[in-house]
Amino acid sequence: MQAIAAHCYHTVVGGVTQVPQEAAWVASKRLPLWCSEMGPALARPRTRWWVVADTWASWNAIVATIRSQSPKLRMTGYYYYYYYYYPDL
Q: Which of 38, 43, 46, 85 is nearest to 66 (CA)?
A: 38
Do 84 and 45 form a contact (C-beta atoms < 8 A)? no
Which pLDDT value is given to residue 25?
A: 92
List Cα–Cα distances, 39 to 28, 88, 89, in angstroms.
26, 28, 27
Torsion of CA 63, 5, 15, 54, to 10 degrees: 40
User: Which pLDDT band, with edges at 50, 70 and 90, does 54 fall under?
Assistant: confident
How does pLDDT run across 6-44, given as a tens digit for each residue? 888 888 888 888 999 998 999 999 999 988 888 787 766
Is the pTM higher than 0.85? The answer reads no
Kindly list the domain boundaries of the chain, sorted by start residue. Answer: 4-78
Question: Residue 19 CA to chain centroid, in angstroms?
Answer: 8
